[in-house]
Amino acid sequence: MFTDFNLESILVAAGLSYARLETEPAVIYILRPDLRIVYCNRAWDKFAAENYGKGINRSEVLGTVFLDAIPGPLKKFYADAFAEARATGNIWEHDFECSSPELFRLFHMRVLPLSAGYILVENSMRFEESHRRKSPSASDRLVYVNEHGILTMCCHCRRTRRICSREHETWDWIPRFLIEQPGRVSHGLCHTCMAYFYPDVPSRAAVNP
C-alpha cells in the first residue's frame, strides 16, 4: 500500500486515508522531508498513460527525489515553497500549465503540510480547451535535436526549442513530438512560461536543467 511505514499514521492524523486518495480525480503524491516521493495515487498512473508518459508510472517514481525532475532555476523555487508550507503549517498554492498534444490545460497545485515534515501535493485541473497554437509549416528534426540526440521541451507549455536558428530563444509548438519524440528529451522552461508562472524567479538567458 505505502512504501513508508510512517505514512498511514500520518494520513490518519490528517483525517485522510489510502482509500480516499486512490479515488480522487486529482493527481496526488506525498513527499518525505527529503522530498522523496513515497506515494502516488491512481490518478497519477491514469495521467501518465493518457499523456504518453514513459517510465513515470508510480511504481517507477517511488523513492525518487521530486526536485530531480524540476528544471534548474525552479528547484529553489519549489524547495523554498515546500519548506515554507512545512514551517508555517499553511497550504501553499500555485498554477502551472501542462498541456497535451490536443488540449491547453491549466492545473492548480496545492501543497498541504502533514505531520513529521511530510507534505501532500495535489494537482487538479483548473481549465482546459482545444489548442489555438499553430505549428510551423515545416519542422526538420535537425532544427530541434542537437548533436547528442537531445531536444529541449518546455515542461509547461510543451513547446520545443530550436537549436539551428539565429533566434536563440525560439520555441515552437510541435505536438507530434509529445507523442513520438525524435530524440531524448531534456525538460527546460521557455521564457514565456518563466515570466508568466514564475515572475519572482530571476530570469536567465536559457532555462534548462
pTM: 0.85
- Which residues, at least 6 apart from 146, have a Cβ–Cβ distance to it below 8 Å? 163
Domain count for the chain? 2
Q: Say what the pLDDT of residue 64 is.
A: 93
C-alpha cell at 46: 491514469
Task: Choose one of 111, 130, 149: the last residue of a domain.
Answer: 130
State whether 124 and 184 are in the same domain.
no
Q: Say what the pLDDT of residue 141 is.
A: 56
Give me the CATH number covering residue 28: 3.30.450.20
Q: Say what the pLDDT of residue 89 is.
A: 95
C-alpha cell at 114: 502533514
Alpha helices in the chain (DSSP H): 7-13, 18-23, 42-50, 58-61, 72-88, 175-179, 191-197
Residue type, 116: A
State whether 118 and 24 are in the same domain.
yes
State whether 105 and 179 are in the same domain.
no
State whether 41 and 78 are in the same domain.
yes
Q: Domain for residue 164, yes or no?
A: yes
State whether 73 and 11 are in the same domain.
yes
State whether 96 and 171 are in the same domain.
no
Q: What is the pLDDT along the chain (209 residues), one digit of tens a residue?
A: 566 778 889 999 999 999 999 999 999 999 999 999 999 999 999 988 887 666 688 889 999 999 998 888 789 999 999 999 999 999 999 999 998 888 899 999 999 999 999 999 999 999 999 988 888 765 555 578 887 888 888 989 999 988 865 556 789 998 888 888 777 888 888 989 999 999 988 765 444 44
User: Whole-angstrom Cα distance, residue 186 to residue 200?
Assistant: 24
Q: Domain for residue 135, yes or no?
A: no
User: Whole-angstrom Cα distance, residue 28 to residue 108?
Assistant: 12
Domain of 120, in residue numbers: 7-130
State whether 15 and 105 are in the same domain.
yes
* Kind plus residue range of the DSSP H or E element containing 160: strand 160-161
**Pairing state between β 150-154 and 184-188:** parallel
Task: Choose one of 78, 109, 130: the last residue of a domain.
Answer: 130
Whole-angstrom Cα Rg for the chain: 18
Residue type, 78: Y
